[in-house]
């Protein structure tokens, strides 16, 4: 009887410790990576954001355009942070097949001293990527929409592609990565395809982020 | 039958002892070493939160139901937080986005409950920084869960230093992304002080501080 008790006690003790150590408490569901091999080396991976479904939150300074006003966060930026052109956006991101695979934050600023765009992409099962590029011009999307016939306050439909990264591939770069993306270097492009704007200014369309990376030396 | 009952009793006592060993395990208290910061930014929770979105699978039971935004199985154990940070004179000077995910490095025996904690931190007029931190929330959970769910008395306020890597000294990695920070690297540590715990609403209030230290210029793009 005593032996039974102590063996069971040991089993319970060791079982809980083993569960604490060996059970993969922090693993995430992983979908197959939608990567393609590039002919001259490296790999190509596309991430897609569908608007408005994948927009989680946005906070922006005054006058930064439709993207700031379309789906405001519960709280706005304090006045002290709105004197400079600044836009903070949060999205879900999808793979090329349209499956949600992660989250992203995009910070854009266009003031004279610190202009630039930074993306942080987090794929929970794979790691994170930091993408940086020169910032697109203030109001770039609105200007392109106006050229395509959009008038503020009225609905618009069409098919407009706006590249937010410069054609110069050297300045839109994959700057850092973690876990599976650690050590990758490369470039990226960011293209917004707008197919509609509601009367309230909500954008419909997609953002495509194409990365071409290779292992750094 | 008597053997089964004795066995079950032994197993339950052993399991409880195992749970206690995990709860009081000093190995899961690992944290960053103290370091002198170039710059400290602070924030208050929930006062300076712009937006907080929690994955469906990690919403604490019993908290008020909200529309689940992060419901997909690939992101249901993640969170998104945006914050305003202030300087030493309590002026808002920065905005941060935090992308958080439960880390595969979570281990109740050796490292605690780890989060992959990625920050995008923009200081208008200066630029944007990217931070990568391993955050150990186990000390926080050990204190809050008994108060929230078992009505245990709270012995706060309490200070935490949750940053536990990925650098060898336990600090977070900082990479300059844009503006004057481009090309710089550094380290960071987060500290916070839990100031209030409400068992009824399962809420908490805290003040936090991010200590940044920018040092060497970057040698390579990858980590």
Q: What pLDDT digit, counting tens, does each position of A175-216 carry?
A: 999 999 999 989 999 999 999 999 888 899 999 999 999 887
Supply the pLDDT for residue B68: 67
Q: Which residue has the higher pLDDT, A199 or A72?
A: A199
Interface of B with A in 16-55 (CB under 8 A): 16-19, 21-22, 49-51, 53
B90 — contact with chain A (CB < 8 Å)?
A: no
Tell me which of A105, A126, A172 to substitute to probe the interface with B (most B C-beta atoms closer than 10 Å). Answer: A105
Percent of chain B with pLDDT over 90: 35
Distances (CA, A) of B34 to B31, B163, B194: 9, 11, 19
Query: CA nearest A114 in B: which residue?
Result: B179
Q: Determine whether the interchain pair A124/B77 forms a contact, defined as Cβ–Cβ distance below 8 Å.
A: yes
Nearest neighbour of B120 by CB, restricted to A6, A31, A120: A120
B104 — contact with chain A (CB < 8 Å)?
A: yes
Picking from A215, A173, A212, A176, the residue whose alpha carbon sits closest to that of residue A37 is A212
Angle at A161 between CA A159 and CA A166, to 5 degrees: 175
CA end-to-end span of chain A: 64
Q: How many whole angstroms separate alpha carbon A153 and alpha carbon A198?
A: 8
- pLDDT tens digit sequence for B101-111: 999 888 888 88
Q: How confident is the model at residue B83 (pLDDT cuts 50, 70, 90)?
A: very high
Q: How many CB atoms lie within 10 A of CB B146?
A: 15
Supply the pLDDT for residue A190: 95
A32 — contact with chain B (CB < 8 Å)?
A: no
pLDDT at A14 > cutoff 80: yes
Q: How many whole angstroms separate alpha carbon A76 and alpha carbon A58?
A: 9
Tell me which of B177, B182, B218, B219 to substitute to probe the interface with A (most A C-beta atoms closer than 10 Å). Answer: B177
| B142 class by beta-carbon count within 10 Å (0-12 exposed, 13-18 middle, 19+ buried) | middle
Supply the pLDDT for residue A76: 76
Supply the pLDDT for residue B209: 93
Picking from B142, B95, B140, B175, the residue whose alpha carbon sits closest to that of residue A81 is B95
3-state secondary structure string, A60-103?
ECCCCCHHHHCCCCCCCCCHHHCCCCEEEEEEEEECCCCCEEEE
Total-model pTM? 0.89
Q: What string of DSSP letters covers B56-68?
A: GGGSPTTSPP---
Extract the runs of DSSP E, i.e. beta strands, from chain B.
39-45, 49-54, 78-86, 92-102, 114-123, 127-136, 158-160, 172-176, 184-198, 203-217
Nearest CA of chain A to the CA of B157: how many Å? 27
Distances (CA, A) of A209 to A48, A131, B80: 6, 10, 20
Residue A88 and residue A105 in contact, taking contact as beta carbons nearer than 8 Å: yes
Mean pLDDT of chain A: 88
Supply the pLDDT for residue B69: 84
pLDDT at B119 > cutoff 90: yes
Supply the pLDDT for residue A61: 74
Query: CA nearest A92 in B: which residue?
Result: B70
pLDDT at B221 > cutoff 70: no
Question: What are residue A98's DSSP bridge partners?
Answer: none
Nearest neighbour of B21 by CB, restricted to A8, A17, A100: A17
Query: CA nearest B57 in A: which residue?
Result: A28
Task: Name chain A contacts of B106, Cβ cutoff 8 Å.
Answer: 25-26
Task: Name chain B contacts of A111, Cβ cutoff 8 Å.
Answer: 124-125
- pLDDT tens digit sequence for B42-76: 999 888 888 889 898 888 777 766 776 899 999 99
Contacts of B24 (CB under 8 A, 6+ apart): none
A174 — contact with chain B (CB < 8 Å)?
A: yes
Residue A188 and residue A174 in contact, taking contact as beta carbons nearer than 8 Å: yes
B151 three-class SS? coil
Residue B77 and residue B57 in contact, taking contact as beta carbons nearer than 8 Å: yes
Extract the runs of DSSP E, i.e. beta strands, from chain A.
35-37, 43-51, 55-60, 86-94, 100-109, 116-123, 127-133, 156-163, 173-177, 184-197, 203-215
Task: Name chain B contacts of A80, Cβ cutoff 8 Å.
Answer: 91-93
- pLDDT tens digit sequence for B9-33: 988 998 898 888 888 888 777 666 6
* For helices B2-23 and A2-22, angle between their N-to-C axes, nearest 10 degrees: 40
Q: How confident is the model at residue B223 (pLDDT cuts 50, 70, 90)?
A: very low
Q: What string of DSSP letters covers B13-59?
A: HHHHHHHHHHHT-GGGG--PPP---SEEEEEEETTTEEEEEEBGGGS
Q: How many whole angstroms separate alpha carbon A14 and alpha carbon B56?
A: 31
Q: How many CB atoms lie within 10 A of CB A81?
A: 23
Q: How many whole angstroms separate alpha carbon B178 and alpha carbon A118?
A: 7
Question: What are residue A189's DSSP bridge partners?
Answer: A210
B103 three-class SS? coil
Tell me which of A90, A95, A99, A214 to substitute to probe the interface with B (most B C-beta atoms closer than 10 Å). Answer: A90
As a whole number, mean pLDDT of residues B133-137 equals 92
Q: Which residue has the higher pLDDT, B186 or B2?
A: B186
Nearest CA of chain A to the CA of B139: how many Å? 15
**The two three-digit tokens of residue A74, written as one number:** 């519960």
Supply the pLDDT for residue B77: 92
Nearest neighbour of B223 by CB, restricted to A7, A125, A176: A176
Task: Name chain A contacts of B137, Cβ cutoff 8 Å.
Answer: none
Q: How many whole angstroms separate alpha carbon A106 and alpha carbon A121?
A: 9
- pLDDT tens digit sequence for A74-84: 467 888 888 88
Q: Is the ipTM of this complex over 0.85?
A: yes
Q: How many whole angstroms separate alpha carbon A26 and alpha carbon A92?
A: 20
Nearest neighbour of A21 by CB, restricted to B12, B109, B175: B109
Q: Determine whether the interchain pair B118/A128 forms a contact, defined as Cβ–Cβ distance below 8 Å.
A: yes
Supply the pLDDT for residue A9: 87
- pLDDT tens digit sequence for A117-135: 999 999 999 999 999 999 8
Picking from A208, A60, A203, A76, the residue whose alpha carbon sits closest to that of residue A131 is A208
pLDDT at A99 > cutoff 90: yes
Task: Name chain B contacts of A100, Cβ cutoff 8 Å.
Answer: 72, 74-75
A21 — contact with chain B (CB < 8 Å)?
A: yes
As a whole number, mean pLDDT of residues B128-140 equals 92
Residue A85: what are its φ and ψ, rounded to 5°? -65, 115
A185 — contact with chain B (CB < 8 Å)?
A: yes
Would strands B114-123 and A43-51 be described as parallel, antiparallel, or unpaired? Answer: unpaired
What is the interface size between A and B, counted as CB pairs within 8 Å? Answer: 275
Q: How many whole angstroms separate alpha carbon A150 and alpha carbon B142?
A: 55
DSSP state of A179: G
């Amino acid at each position: 009887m005593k032996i039974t008790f102590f063996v069971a006690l040991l089993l319970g003790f060791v079982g809980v410790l083993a569960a604490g150590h060996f059970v993969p408490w922090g693993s995430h569901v992983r979908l197959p990576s939608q990567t393609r091999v590039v002919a001259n080396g490296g790999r190509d991976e596309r991430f897609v954001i569908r608007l408005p479904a994948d927009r989680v939150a946005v906070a922006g300074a005054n006058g930064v355009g439709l993207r700031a006003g379309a789906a405001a966060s519960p709280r706005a930026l304090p006045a002290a942070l709105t004197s400079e052109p600044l836009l903070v956006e949060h999205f879900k991101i999808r793979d090329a097949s349209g499956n949600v695979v992660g989250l992203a934050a995009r910070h854009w600023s266009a003031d004279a001293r610190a202009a630039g765009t930074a993306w942080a992409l987090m794929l929970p099962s794979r790691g994170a990527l930091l993408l940086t590029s020169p910032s697109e011009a203030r109001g770039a999307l609105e200007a392109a929409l106006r050229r395509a016939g959009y008038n503020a306050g009225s609905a618009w439909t069409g098919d407009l592609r706006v590249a937010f990264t410069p054609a110069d591939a050297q300045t839109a770069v994959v700057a850092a990565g973690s876990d599976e993306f650690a050590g990758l270097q490369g470039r990226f492009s960011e293209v917004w395809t707008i197919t509609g704007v509601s009367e309230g200014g909500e954008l419909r369309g997609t953002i495509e982020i194409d990365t071409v990376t290779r292992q750094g030396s | 039958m008597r053997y089964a009952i004795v066995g079950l009793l032994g197993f339950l006592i052993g399991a409880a002892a195992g749970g206690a060993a995990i709860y009081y395990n000093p190995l899961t208290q690992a944290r960053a070493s103290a370091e002198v910061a170039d710059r400290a930014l602070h924030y208050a929770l929930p006062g300076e939160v712009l937006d907080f979105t929690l994955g469906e699978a990690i919403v604490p039971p019993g908290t008020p139901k909200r529309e689940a935004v992060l419901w997909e199985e690939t992101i249901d154990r993640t969170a998104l937080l945006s914050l305003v940070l202030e300087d030493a004179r309590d002026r808002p000077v920065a905005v941060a986005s935090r992308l958080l995910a439960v880390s595969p490095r979570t281990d109740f025996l050796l490292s605690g409950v780890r989060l992959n904690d990625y920050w995008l931190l923009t200081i208008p007029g200066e630029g944007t920084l990217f931070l990568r931190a391993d955050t150990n929330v186990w000390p926080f959970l050990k204190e809050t869960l008994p108060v929230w769910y078992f009505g245990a008395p709270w012995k706060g306020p309490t200070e935490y230093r949750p940053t536990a890597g990925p650098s060898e000294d336990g600090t977070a990695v900082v990479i300059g992304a844009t503006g004057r920070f481009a090309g710089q690297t550094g380290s960071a540590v987060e500290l916070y002080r839990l100031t209030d715990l409400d068992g009824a609403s399962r809420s908490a209030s805290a003040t936090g501080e991010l200590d940044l230290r920018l040092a060497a210029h970057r040698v390579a793009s990858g980590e």
